[in-house]
Structure 1
Amino acid sequence: GTGWEWAQVEGPGCQAHPQPPTPPDPCYDESGAPRRCIPEFVNAAFGKEVHASSTCGKPPTRHCNASDPRKAHPPAYLTDLNTKFEVVYVSLQFCSPRPESTAIFKSMDYGKTWVPYQYYSSQCRKIYGKPSKATVTKQNEQEALCTDGLTDLYPLTGGLIAFSTLDGRPSDWVTATDIRVVFSRPHQFREGAPAAAPYYYAVGELQVGGRCKCNGHASRCVKDKEQKLVCDCKHNTEGPECDRCKPFHYDRPWQRASAREANECLACNCNLHARRCRFNMELYKLSGRKSGGVCLNCRHNTAGRHCHYCKEGFYRDLSKSITDRKACKACDCHPVGAAGKTCNQTTGQCPCKDGVTGLTCNRCAKGFQQSRSPVAPCISESPIGLGCRPRQDCDSYCKPAKGNYKINMKKYCKKDYVVQVNILEMETVANWAKFTINILSVYKCRDERVKRGDNFLWIHLKDLSCKCPKIQISKKYLVMGISENSTDRPGLMADKNSLVIQWRDAWTRRLRKLQRREKKGKCVKP
């Protein structure tokens, strides 16, 4: 076989329409706006050493015999472009007579597979099975054509074979990484003369006009570390052919540049709070094909698709820009005065307990005074009789404790429900304390809604502030009380007259005995 490598030429830039003053970068106009740019048109075969051999056959023999398949192997020229080129034309000028039949092949995968590019023969149908002088149509735009032109014996020197790849062809048809030229058959000088001596092919010049394939995002190609030609990408693109977007530039999908639109890759809008993002096609379509970037791992206490609001537990500092590292401030809600740790993300206002005020719920509101209870830290300054301010008022308001509580049949029968509960959490609703409880055992109930599982226990803050009853979170209690139907407060009700005492395991046997006696009709209805 015979072969050579194509030249690797580095173009200075795309200057198809030079206008003074010349812009510093052909990929951007005078105002800095992106525009389509293409590498310079070059002859990729220029300046490279050519290696030729007249041997042929498998294995090589002194003479080729086209009638003997074992000794028939046409000389071929193999060119490696070293990158993807958009080929515009191929031209060969001969010092010897032109071949009678020539085939040109191309590869788009660096020589792994080959497809026919163009055929030349005075006998197209016989040699290549193709009609001569065919025209490009929609049906054959991806097929090689055969022509009987440029196949004459004369001139004996200086003959030319050339064709344009662009005529009616799609863009992927002109893309190639390698070109192979096969001289299939020489002209016969004497009809029927034996091949006593080899025929020679002498090529004086090879030209392949083309550009690096950069999809409109580069004006030149440069050599990488492996000495391969790669595009010098602009428009926030990257890759050997500028065929993908650079990291963090995923706000819209990659596209080739066109004459009307540069289709640059756009950076995600993360307000300087994220370093990574991803593309979401569904969001892109919903936005009218304007934005599809989604920020990942928002920093500086921000959250959201664009890191554009503060995460839970923080609120916006309106004195700073959203792009500021300190745009979000901690809520800092008071551990006693606030009903939770999450504040309004716009104003920073914490959710305050009843009677508590301030941005962080750190003081009592007007008309309220501080108490010693962490459950109700601020109580109303009500007139005597409506509330209990001093301790002596609480003592008179609540029933005095008689030491050890004795659970007897009389107390049991007076109550509507008797349950063992576990106190889980508490929140303030108006003037009421709403406890979330878990009912562990039911020893008596006149209301079908009282059953094992999670429920609510309501106690007025006035009773709670005077510690009648006294309740602590995460403790177990025996609760004996009267049922009150209220649509605003679903669950159980307890007040100063209810029996709420810390649970003792010794009561289980006693309560089961009272439960059995009630079922036998021993209870006298109050």
Structure 2
Amino acid sequence: MRLPVLLTLQAVWASLCHAMQNYPAAWGHYDVCKSQVYTEEGLTWDYMACQPEAADMTKYLKVTLDPPNITCGDPPETYCALENPYMCNNECDAGTEELAHPPELMFDFEGRNPTTFWQSSSWKKYPKPLLVNITLSWNKTVELTDDIVITFESGRPEQMVLEKSLDYGRTWQPYQFYATDCLDAFIMEPKTVQDLTQQTLLDIICTEDYSRGYVWKYDKTVRFEIKDRFALFAGPRLHNMASLYGQLDTTKNLRDFFTITDLRIKLHRPATGATMVDENNLSRYFYAISDIKVHGRCKCNLHANSCVFDKEKLACECEHNTTGPDCGRCKRSYQGRAWSAGSYLPIPKGTANICIPNNVGPVIRPNVSSLGVANRNQDCECSGHSNRCSYIELLNTVICISCKHNTRGQHCQLCKLGYYRNVSAELDDENVCVGQSHHCNRRCDL
């Protein structure tokens, strides 16, 4: 007797989920860029601000170490445990897979046993500082959505700086300083993120919370707290996202604070486990990182809800007649007004600020359609190759007509027979479809 009840509950749940798909923006996700709606003038598009889902961004980065030969194992080395200088049975050998600790092990799946990790050479040149820079580059603007978390397999460093770049590594700004003694290391008063307010959120602080000695054996993480900073506007449980979105919309410095193209981890001094360095056993001192977590989303200026990783590069799949890696400009044929980023406001759908055609032409209205089509100002979405479209009642679809520049298809997005896609040109380029006589030089496709 329970089976019909379970099926009924399952049906109710499925119906609820299906219904909620029509109202994603009500939850503040901004995951839909447009939807078709019926108005007094007929079928038209309703445009909304949109953004990609947050994701694990470590899948798409390039890591660089400085100095380049700082990774252990070439030549092979033997290491001692920090907490026990007589336990020296750990070996690093770059030529043996099971004994190697290359940089990519900072980003692999954790959960296996034993843990995998990157490891530096030991502090053999003491008292010369053991300085290491680990640079994470995306070649794309990224908006951070969660805490940056660095997990050390060895003791956490006694001095460290986290830096960010917003111009692809040309210039750098500090994000946060970390030290066992902030005054001694960086001439800064120690603070925590809990000391920040809405007015001081952008302040760069030094914290001693993540640099304790090795007595805290199981406390291996170093964090840069993104969500605690969000909470200054959105509340402790981030329930008031409207307040945060409002601030991000109206305060460029705040928005830029959470936006990066690169991160740099500057390791200044390894864990020593004591006030004095044991110069007779320097193989105890090194850096080892098992995991780095960076969660965020591609910055698409609220003009895209997806981001693709192709040919080792991230790019937004732009909507709203925008183009560029960050949807940062209008398409060539849609410059009827100046480009503008989308807006989170008003909640919950925001404002799309779409790019409009240079010259808006008439739309054909078949008399047989009781629904009609969009008004004169509706964008027919013809990739810049036509400004005329028609509503096909039987298919409940708007299609482009009179496609120019050797294009065809519902949105003039395909090439006519005998013509080939010039992949070096954007979809709205007049030369996107070229004839067989053109020399493609391996840059054309069907």
With the length of structure 1 as denominator, give the TM-score of the two structures. 0.43
The structure that has the greater radius of gyration is 1
Larger RCO of the pair (alpha carbons < 8 Å, separation 6+):
2
TM-score under structure 2 length normalisation? 0.50
